[in-house]
Amino acid sequence: MLTHTLADLGWSAHFMQQLDIEALETLQPMRVSAVHRDRLEAIGTAGPAALTLPGGQETGAYAIGDWLMVEPETLRVITLLDRATTLARRAAGTDARQQLLAANVDVMFITTSCNADFNPRRLERYLALAEQAGITPVLVMTKADGCAGTEAREDWRARGEALMPGLAVQLLDARDPAQVAPLTDWWRKGQTAVLLGSSGVGKSTLANTLCGGAQGTGGIREDDAKGRHTTTRRDFLRASHGGWLIDTPGLRALRLQAAEEGIDAVFSDVAELAEQCRFSDCRHEGEPGCAVQAAIAEGRLEADRLRRWQKLRAEDRRNSETIAEARHRDRQFGKIVREAMRERDRRGKS
């Protein structure tokens, strides 16, 4: 059986410093590799294990990639360590609760193709998400083999690089291991990456090339309890260079929320200009002394980029407001419940 050191699994000072000597001597760190409704799967230096939760706890509070301190004999989860990074999304429908998708992610491979899939608005959303979460984004542009010549390739690269100042961009054929290998420049041994991108851009192909055929697209075949073959998807994959890839369906299409700082990081060129406007509440719509409009007039900034920044900020504000409103509603509901209980107590006493 393949065993890993803690460093192989992504352990770092961030987690170490949360522990005292006693915890280090008596408990064992393990990393969550799968979250099921009733149990967790995790990997430690002694290998993989299924873990039980302390009485009555649900697995919803845990995410793939989490670090836990576990009692070695009983395999009981004792503590969940503070995350270095968190990826979450709003639960479906009107429910504004957060659904955890992945924890302790270092790199986000934002995947698009050198064709009509390339959509700045969508890609900027993903970039803002990464920036907001403190995860390094890398733009992976697949199907570069379809480009007609070097000029076309460089054209695509330039379009990728224009999405955010300083963005790392990699053009490649997702099926070719040699072209995929440079991604490890941003994704070292023990580090954890996620794949984001729309359907058909080559995420499964990329996962396959990165992690070796068996673990990618179709999942692995396992015998279930009745001896049947079942194909299970694995969401926590080990790449050949020793990095980890979290590839869960929920992650593949994330929506933006409460990401104002992330958005401004992606549009730092526009945000910096906006700070130089004469009026601090400048709407950049023709007010005097508008540095943004001046930059557009001088050809230093694309007018489209300003529009996309404004739209994204507005969208984020809308989504974030609904969360705040939902929290308010929850508090109101809690108040009603407490009042009802007090009323019941009063009646009980009289």
Ligand X SMILES: Nc1nc2c(ncn2[C@@H]2O[C@H](COP(=O)(O)OP(=O)(O)OP(=O)(O)O)[C@@H](O)[C@H]2O)c(=O)[nH]1
d(CA 319, CA 313): 10
d(CA 32, CA 48): 9
Q: Is 198 annotated as a binding residue?
A: yes
How many CB atoms within 10 Å of residue 69? Answer: 19
Number of residues that bind Zn ion (CB under 5 A): 5
DSSP code string of 180-206: HGGGGGSS-TT-EEEEE--TTSSHHHH
Indicate the residue among 204 and 320 with the shorter CB distance to ligand X.
204
In 3D space, the residue among 133, 139, 51, 148 whose CA is nearest the CA of residue 98 turns out to be: 133
The residues binding ligand X (CB under 6 A) are 142-143, 145-146, 173-175, 197, 199-205, 252
Q: Is 144 annotated as a binding residue?
A: yes
Q: Which does 204 bind (CB under 5 to 8 A by kind): ligand X, Zn ion, none?
A: ligand X
Q: Is 201 annotated as a binding residue?
A: yes
Rounded least distance, CB 194 to ligand X, Å: 13
d(CA 139, CA 141): 6
Binding pattern for the stretch 264-293 against Zn ion, x by CB under 5 A and - elsewhere: -------------x----x-x-----x-x-
**Sequence-separated (6 or more) residues with CB below 8 Å from residue 143:** 113, 114, 115, 173, 174, 201, 202
Q: Is 204 annotated as a binding residue?
A: yes
d(CA 115, CA 128): 22
Rounded least distance, CB 144 to ligand X, Å: 7
Rounded least distance, CB 179 to ligand X, Å: 8
Q: Is 203 annotated as a binding residue?
A: yes
Rounded least distance, CB 195 to ligand X, Å: 8
d(CA 170, CA 144): 10
Kindly list the residues in this chain that would bind Zn ion in the complex (CB under 5 A).
277, 282, 284, 290, 292
Binding residues, as ranges, are: 142-145, 197-205, 277, 282, 284, 290
Binding residues for GTP, as ranges, are: 142-145, 197-205
